[in-house]
Chains A and B, each alone.
Chain A
Amino acid sequence: MNDIMLYSLITLVALGCIAAILLYFIAQKFKVYEDPRIDDVVDLLPGANCGGCGFAGCRALAEAIVKDENLEGKSCPPGGNATMEQIAAVLGFAATITEPQIAVVRCNGSFENAPKKIDYDAVGSCYFAHTLFAGEGGCPNGCLGCGDCIKSCQFDAIFMSKETGLPVVKDNCVACSACVKACPRGIIELRNRGKKERRIFVSCVNTEKGAPAKKNCAVACIGCGKCVKSCSFEAITLNKNLAYIDYAKCKLCRKCATECPTGAIRELNFPPRKEPKETVAETAEA
């Protein structure tokens, strides 16, 4: 009995030693040197691998930061400035501050505003619906409502409203731009969050002329240009029958919104106006 135990003990110990030696040599042979700072940076990053920074994932961003030896042009949307400051502190680089952003949905073609004219009955993919037709409401640029953006979101920061049939961005959006890329019609845009989360933007991307645009949707931008004239800061431009508010120049004065004849300009998180206006868009969006 003892013999058996002894033999097995010796065999197993010998086996273990041989394996250890083998492993050591193999590890030596295939050793890859890596800057230890990369791991430090990875530890500071959120680890969501969302791709919002423009790199393939958190590790890729860390590698790029360490390789370039600076933080210029690099940002981590989910982590925000706090994360970048931490990284800067650890590596001893100068931190670059970026304005926090959020995704906004530039379409207000709800069931009410753009009534359903066609029934869509195919696979639930905006990309596919886009190849088939203009959309249930008839607008060739409007939201198709199949939720490609919602599927693309890793942070559960966007959901489909049952009342309007439009996606709604929640406050926990980290501006990783996954939804921006997912939308086949370029409806979603990243904009600065603004003071006190106040934002104002043209909630339409329709480039048709006024008449056909208005025919499909009550709140379409008809390219009349009134807002352009009303703006004192030259923040609004008109291109292809569509107005666009530059968030960098906009001072959030809300003058354009009162001018817009169709109510295409949408304001978020502003206090109610003193005198009631019909064109004020609902601010239910969180």
Chain B
Amino acid sequence: MNLLTISGSPHVHGKESVQKIMWGVVVAMIPLAVASVLFFGWNAVRVMIISVAACAILEWLIQKFIMKTPATVGDGSAVITGLLLAFNVPSNLDWWIIVIGAIIAIGVAKMSFGGLGKNPFNPALVGRVFLLISFPQQMTTWPKAKELIEQVPQAITAATSGATQAIEVVADATTGATPMGIIKGGLATGQDVSDVVAQLPDYVGSLIGQHGGSLGEISVIAILLGGIFMLFRKIITWHIPVSFLGSAFIFAGIMHLINPGLYIPPMYHLMFGGIMLGAVFMATDMATSPMSSWGQVVFGIGCGLLTMIIRLWGAYPEGVSFAILIMNAFVPLINRAFKPKRFGEKVK
């Protein structure tokens, strides 16, 4: 007869597992991956494959030969890091730069802290910021709009009514710069806000994602689809995305009201740049976000404000990565300061 087992209660376990959560996130990224392939063509596939493969192989190698622990590549977290890294770089990036990014992301930001769940900073963002600082030339040379249009299948162009016009705007306007770059560059050279705005793609175009930028930041709709899926699967909660976007919107709105001649309307700040990708996929990373709901709200607000400060007054046109990384550093503090309300605790 089999031996009886003794263990502490509870004797049943929920259906959730790390694998399911991680692969759930990967599934949520599929619309974004598809969108990036549609807009950037096979180059996007190239970038994603290199990045994911590099991350996964690196994690396996490090666990096998340096940490000598059982391999956990199967849990999918390396795939997430790889995809996020790919989403954060331009589609024409050289393969070796991507691999360096992967080494930094997995090797330095994740495994050196002990692997899954122990990293204080979002690995993909660390990789991305490292690349941005080390290879500013390559990291900010975005694929030209003309190429972009050639690679958009005709069917899609026809299907999205009214999008044709948007593409033309893009084709005329973006010559290798992202909308955030246009705004920053335009305002820096003393152009009026209305002139700058005129150069930007319209809302419909940006919702679908037809403007320049890194792989994953362009298509707002695809990001929202993934976000809704993750909310539905209870992988993320609404707190971080809503407070992140909300605080950024309000801050940008206030600045716009104060001086409409200097600051563009707040909607543009949400539509362009990496803020959507950051708010939905990167700030919500479980390991690097606070535990309590209130903590998450504070974290989101911090991210939103920092993003806007960097965007409006910083040297870089885009500030999402830096904002999230800075707030990551605050997470342990936030965790201790904002605790969940205890049952039976005195209410004032």
Seen from chain A, the residues whose Cβ lies within 8 Å of a Cβ on chain B are 116-123, 128, 132-133
Enumerate chain A residues within 8 angstroms of B3, measured Cβ to Cβ. 116-119
Asked if residues A120 and B8 are in contact (CB atoms below 8 Å), the reply is: no
How many chain B residues touch A (Cβ–Cβ < 8 Å)?
A: 6
Compute the total of residue contacts between A and B using a CB distance below 8 Å.
25
Asked if residues A123 and B6 are in contact (CB atoms below 8 Å), the reply is: no
Please, how many angstroms separate the alpha-carbon atoms of A121 and B7 in the complex?
5
Enumerate chain B residues within 8 angstroms of A122, measured Cβ to Cβ. 6-8
Enumerate chain B residues within 8 angstroms of A117, measured Cβ to Cβ. 3
Enumerate chain B residues within 8 angstroms of A121, measured Cβ to Cβ. 5-7
Please, how many angstroms separate the alpha-carbon atoms of A121 and B11 in the complex?
11
Known: A118-B3, A121-B6, A122-B8. 12 other contacts (CB 8 A): A116-B3, A118-B6, A119-B6, A120-B5, A120-B6, A120-B7, A121-B5, A122-B6, A132-B6, A132-B7, A132-B8, A133-B6
From residue B268, how far is it (CB to closest CB) to chain A in Å? 44
B1-56, CB < 8 A from A = 3-8
Sample of 13 A–B contacts (CB below 8 Å): A116-B3, A118-B4, A118-B5, A118-B6, A119-B4, A120-B7, A121-B5, A121-B6, A121-B7, A123-B8, A132-B6, A132-B7, A132-B8
Residue of B nearest to A134 (CB): B6
Asked if residues B8 and A128 are in contact (CB atoms below 8 Å), the reply is: yes
Enumerate chain A residues within 8 angstroms of B8, measured Cβ to Cβ. 122-123, 128, 132
Seen from chain B, the residues whose Cβ lies within 8 Å of a Cβ on chain A are 3-8
Please, how many angstroms separate the alpha-carbon atoms of A121 and B3 in the complex?
12
Enumerate chain A residues within 8 angstroms of B7, measured Cβ to Cβ. 120-122, 132
Please, how many angstroms separate the alpha-carbon atoms of A123 and B6 in the complex?
11
From residue B142, how far is it (CB to closest CB) to chain A in Å? 42
Enumerate chain A residues within 8 angstroms of B4, measured Cβ to Cβ. 118-119
Please, how many angstroms separate the alpha-carbon atoms of A119 and B6 in the complex?
6
From residue B6, how far is it (CB to closest CB) to chain A in Å? 5
Residue of A nearest to B4 (CB): A118
Please, how many angstroms separate the alpha-carbon atoms of A144 and B4 in the complex?
16
Please, how many angstroms separate the alpha-carbon atoms of A121 and B4 in the complex?
10
Please, how many angstroms separate the alpha-carbon atoms of A128 and B8 in the complex?
9
Please, how many angstroms separate the alpha-carbon atoms of A132 and B3 in the complex?
16
Please, how many angstroms separate the alpha-carbon atoms of A120 and B6 in the complex?
5
Please, how many angstroms separate the alpha-carbon atoms of A128 and B9 in the complex?
12
Residue of A nearest to B5 (CB): A119
Residue of A nearest to B2 (CB): A119
Enumerate chain A residues within 8 angstroms of B5, measured Cβ to Cβ. 118-121
Enumerate chain B residues within 8 angstroms of A132, measured Cβ to Cβ. 6-8
Please, how many angstroms separate the alpha-carbon atoms of A117 and B7 in the complex?
14
From residue A53, how far is it (CB to closest CB) to chain B in Å? 35
From residue B21, how far is it (CB to closest CB) to chain A in Å? 23
Enumerate chain A residues within 8 angstroms of B6, measured Cβ to Cβ. 118-122, 132-133
From residue A139, how far is it (CB to closest CB) to chain B in Å? 14
Please, how many angstroms separate the alpha-carbon atoms of A118 and B3 in the complex?
5
Please, how many angstroms separate the alpha-carbon atoms of A183 and B6 in the complex?
20
Please give me the 3 A-B residue pairs with the lowest Cβ-Cβ distance, nearest first.
Answer: A122-B7, A119-B3, A119-B5
Residue of B nearest to A133 (CB): B6
Please, how many angstroms separate the alpha-carbon atoms of A117 and B3 in the complex?
6
Please, how many angstroms separate the alpha-carbon atoms of A269 and B6 in the complex?
38
Enumerate chain B residues within 8 angstroms of A128, measured Cβ to Cβ. 8
Enumerate chain B residues within 8 angstroms of A116, measured Cβ to Cβ. 3
From residue B194, how far is it (CB to closest CB) to chain A in Å? 45
From residue B5, how far is it (CB to closest CB) to chain A in Å? 5
From residue B239, how far is it (CB to closest CB) to chain A in Å? 31
Residue of B nearest to A120 (CB): B6
From residue A88, how far is it (CB to closest CB) to chain B in Å? 46
Please, how many angstroms separate the alpha-carbon atoms of A147 and B236 in the complex?
38
Residue of B nearest to A129 (CB): B6
From residue B60, how far is it (CB to closest CB) to chain A in Å? 27
Residue of B nearest to A117 (CB): B3
